[in-house]
Amino acid sequence: MPDYPVKPMERTFVMIKPEGLQRGVTGEIIARIEKKGLKIIAMKMLVISGDLAKKHYGEHAGKPFFENLVKYITCGPVIAMAIEGKNAVSTVRAMMGSTDPLKAEQGTIRATYCMDMGRNIIHGSDSLTSAEREIGNFFKPDELIGYSRSIEPWVYE
């Protein structure tokens, strides 16, 4: 059995939004990510500035909901994370469930913890390109910590 994963792992960005902190479910969400076998390589709590929010949600600029989105995501602290693992982007997206919690598959984060699309508790990158950009928006390269875990040979072939 190899010491640790042989294949390079993907990285994705995950953010637990202000309602996740207010509702006290951050630990449960982080535990789900870790229990899946994904590895947190960076994590911080912060209140997002207006400029960073506009940069993060830049693809929505000009849309009717953009200003409310920026206002909401800056209203309180969030937890920002860089996550690493096999197929990390698609794995996290599947774990989160549909943006509309009422359409999310049972057992997903949004189906479990959310009632309204405007309070869907978590953000995850939708592609490797977005993940790289979003991780870069929230973390400096030296804040991404590479390390091995003893469970990795039991998670990956």
The CA distance from 20 to 35, in Å, is: 19
Helix, strand and coil percent figures for the chain, each rounded to 5? 45, 15, 35
Q: Which residues pair with 11 in a beta bridge?
A: 84
How is residue 106 written in tokens? 């049972």
C-alpha distance from residue 15 to each of 4, 45, 130, 152 (Å): 27, 10, 13, 24
Q: Which of 59, 67, 31, 78 is nearest to 129 (CA)?
A: 59
Which residue among 123, 135, 138, 139 is the active-site one? 123
Pairing of strands 78-85, 122-124: unpaired
| Active site annotation includes 123 | yes
Which residues are tagged catalytic? Answer: 123
